[in-house]
Chains A and B, each alone.
Chain A
């Protein structure tokens, strides 16, 4: 018994070391960016030279940067709106409608996960040129809807599937048509997930580079702006400062999205309040 317990403890130590190594591998490279963004040197190298906010100062009043930022926000909001709308309808039809066609559509819409970004970028470039409007913000929006759609479908599908079937049946039973059932019961019950899907889609668009690279005209998005700045060694610290801001915002949005996704899930699965003393 004793030996077995010992072996178990040793196993736990190994597991702890493995998890630690895994976390370092995941986050150490990323954590270098905030670290160097406060470093009082133009070189991204050790030893650190001292603490400064100067690089953050260079972000203010940079018109190319603020233009790229507003482009990214406009594209992100538009793409997130499109992806959330499509994702919600596709997922709802799969879970609620249960027709083989709806299931096939849902599967196809989750497929872009597997297509390399370069391929998506090139094919969309050809496509928008054929359509006639060519590279533009609209083209990026379309590309980003495609990129974000799988996530929206997955988030919404998870939520719709977690709502007991009796919920929509109760609405139908009480006289609600399919549309009223969706509008008054199923949609309100999945609103947190809609918010979550929207935020995740926005984030995917906001951080996306390859598709935007192929489809951008003269109005770059933020990742494209960063890419363009990497040619100038002296703007590297500014890029680090910008990268730190983006990281922070991304973490906050992703955290909020996860909170929203979980919210209301407990509401539906929770047990009734304890019965209390029995009183006829």
Chain B
């Protein structure tokens, strides 16, 4: 095995007293300088995963290796890793400068040097003028940035962020997402962020680890995760996706042909994808990759519109096929000529050139 990953989790499992499984044999490589998100619903193990990296939880089995060194049994204070907590965990009895300087003071950094680094860290997060402020005087967004400064001033090999933006309002959250991304690339530091917000993960991560029930479902870039979800869970969790049971009906060069009820679907296959005639698969297709036609055509299936929801640039139609399958179709608004109504029969087809994906259970 190559040892080039910055942090490597090897078959890490964590069982809590009472038999609750927090992590179930997780393997994960974190590369130098990447922005990695751990994404999943609550209770999926993403926070436990982060706490194992920070040293707050000891794995029941498995190893944690940082830059080739086994740190599985090291306590948090012996790890070159720092955390930004969900509730920020600023020390209320210290002012901003003392909070940010806490880590440095423990490392026996000379006082003058401490002062310089604290000021630099606060400048970096845009709070240079708050250096003497008391924690109680700060707004939520400012506390968050102090927490960031307090962690990055220690120059950790990895910065761990536990749902850092969840307590902020929508405007500020969007702004802080960009701030985090900017900080991460200007520092060249490795960030690992826990979030349950797929939009957040998709917009700032280099790679996303989707977790469910203590296991990793998929590790991929945001685009790959969106375009080629590997499992039903990922498909359901990232954006909206139609999950259709479909039968394999043949191969056409690089295209695999499926039939879901009456609806023909095709997907560009990997060369090594093996399928036999008649085999059933779960196929995922995005709402924007389905087209609702007014007239029947060669590759269409009829469906009845149950509801139409305004979705900004698109209208989202919920329809059901003759076979009873529920479909979600996004139609661009200007293309909706003539307008459909609830109760109409439309003829659904796959958008030409769009691909769908085979999903594992």
Contact = CB atoms under 8 A, between A and B. Distances in A.
Interface of A: 164, 166-167, 169-177, 180, 184-185, 188-189, 264, 267-268, 270, 272-276, 278, 280
A275 B76 contact: no
Interface string B72-110: 000111000111011101111100000000110011000
B84 to A, nearest CB: 9
A275 B143 CA distance: 10
A175 B142 CA distance: 23
| Residue of A174, A188, A268 with highest tally of chain B CB at under 10 A | A174
A218 B223 CA distance: 87
Given A170-B89, A272-B139, 16 more contacts: A166-B85, A166-B86, A166-B89, A169-B76, A170-B85, A172-B75, A173-B76, A173-B82, A176-B77, A177-B77, A185-B91, A188-B93, A189-B91, A272-B140, A272-B142, A273-B137
A175 B154 contact: yes
B41 interface: no
Determine the interface band of chain B, counting residues with CB < 8 A from chain A: 35 or more
Contacts of B56: 169, 172-173
Interface string B187-229: 0000000000000000000000000000000000000000000
A270 B154 CA distance: 28
A190 to B, nearest CB: 10
A39 B169 CA distance: 66
B338 to A, nearest CB: 43
Nearest to A172: B76
Contacts of B151: 173-174
18 contacts: A166-B85, A167-B91, A170-B85, A172-B55, A172-B76, A173-B54, A173-B83, A174-B77, A174-B82, A174-B154, A175-B103, A176-B102, A267-B92, A267-B136, A270-B136, A273-B137, A275-B139, A280-B175
Contacts of A272: 138-140, 142-143
B322 interface: no
| Residue of B54, B102, B151 with highest tally of chain A CB at under 10 A | B102
A171 B102 contact: yes
Nearest to A271: B140
Interface string B149-181: 011001000000000000001011001000000
A272 B56 CA distance: 26
Contacts of A188: 93
A5 B54 CA distance: 58
A268 B92 contact: yes
| Residue of A169, A173, A268, A270 with highest tally of chain B CB at under 10 A | A173
B106 A273 contact: no
A170 B136 contact: no
Contacts of B136: 267, 270, 273
Nearest to A175: B106
Contact of A164 (B89, B107, B140, B169): B89
Nearest to B175: A280
B141 interface: yes
Contacts of B154: 174-175
Contact of B172 (A169, A274, A275): A275
A273 B175 CA distance: 19
B89 A167 contact: yes
Nearest to A189: B93
A170 B138 contact: no
Interface string B36-78: 0000000000000000001110000000000000000001110
Contacts of A268: 92
A174 B104 CA distance: 8
A171 B75 CA distance: 12
Contact of A278 (B89, B102, B107, B172): B172
A172 B74 CA distance: 12
Contacts of A173: 54-56, 76-77, 81-83, 151
